[in-house]
Copies of this chain bind each other. A is one copy, B any other.
């Protein structure tokens, strides 16, 4: 699966992923009102607005980008109707030819991780039939439980040609509280990176492994060090834009050939219409604002990756 992502990134010359993380604050009133008219001020109404909003953004940006990254928490917060909107979004993105990175950050003991792996990147047997419940192409996973919590995901990568991104160094301010602590002279995140290499060797796909990692744009020096430590892992980079990561910080996340990293932006793209810079589009044309913001982001990242 990672080779497919590389190919799409190269085809579109866009090492960029759009984070579909719609809070209601990001959704223009005309969409909210229409959904509330249909379903009332309810979880169903909120979920319908999220779905309509997403569809607009996907329609406007799909031809420019290789992939999207819906953050499942933003859907789970609207309960079952929200998760239905998540699934509709995943399916719609596939129809539009996009790869989907489910940002689910799951992880548990082995037998439980197996169920999560089946749910998101694999398939499950019911009687004589097989189903792919959420059917993302990639998902993010949390390494705190160690190898037996990750291995079922890696096995599913091999069995179903999918991929994962393991949290190594996250973009948030307090990520260092545990991740940066020194163990035998090296930070915990480097020990996790070492394991990512080990897990990654079990599911290679071309130059890269189906086991990628997450390293926040907000920690550029660590990103550059981790790029070298995990030569076969693609880095999914959150934290660009709204969280403070800048393009010039990102050079070290890429390999000399310009591959090896894919940068996410969520708010910066999907809420672009609320940004002074794109205000001229107006709420009605929020998707056009997102399209412009994607174009600007692609230029920004490409100029920085230094190829």
- Residues on A lying within 8 angstroms of B by beta carbon are 21, 23-24, 32, 36, 41-43, 45-46, 71, 73-74, 76-80, 82-84, 87, 105-110, 112-113, 115-116, 118-119, 124, 126-129, 131, 133-134, 142-149, 167, 170-179, 181-184, 188, 191-192, 195, 238, 243
Contacts and interface: CB of A to CB of B under 8 A. Distances in A.
B143 A178 contact: yes
Given A76-B133, A109-B170, A183-B188, 10 more contacts: A21-B112, A36-B127, A71-B108, A73-B108, A77-B133, A78-B133, A80-B84, A107-B142, A109-B243, A143-B144
Contacts of A146: 172, 174-179
A154 to B, nearest CB: 13
A79 to B, nearest CB: 3
A85 B184 CA distance: 46
A41 B131 CA distance: 10
A227 to B, nearest CB: 21
A223 B248 CA distance: 47
A296 to B, nearest CB: 23
B119 A77 contact: yes
A112 B71 contact: yes
A195 B41 CA distance: 39
B87 A79 contact: yes
A176 B147 CA distance: 10
A145 B175 contact: yes
A171 B172 CA distance: 28
A243 B179 CA distance: 28
Nearest to A82: B133
A64 B178 CA distance: 40
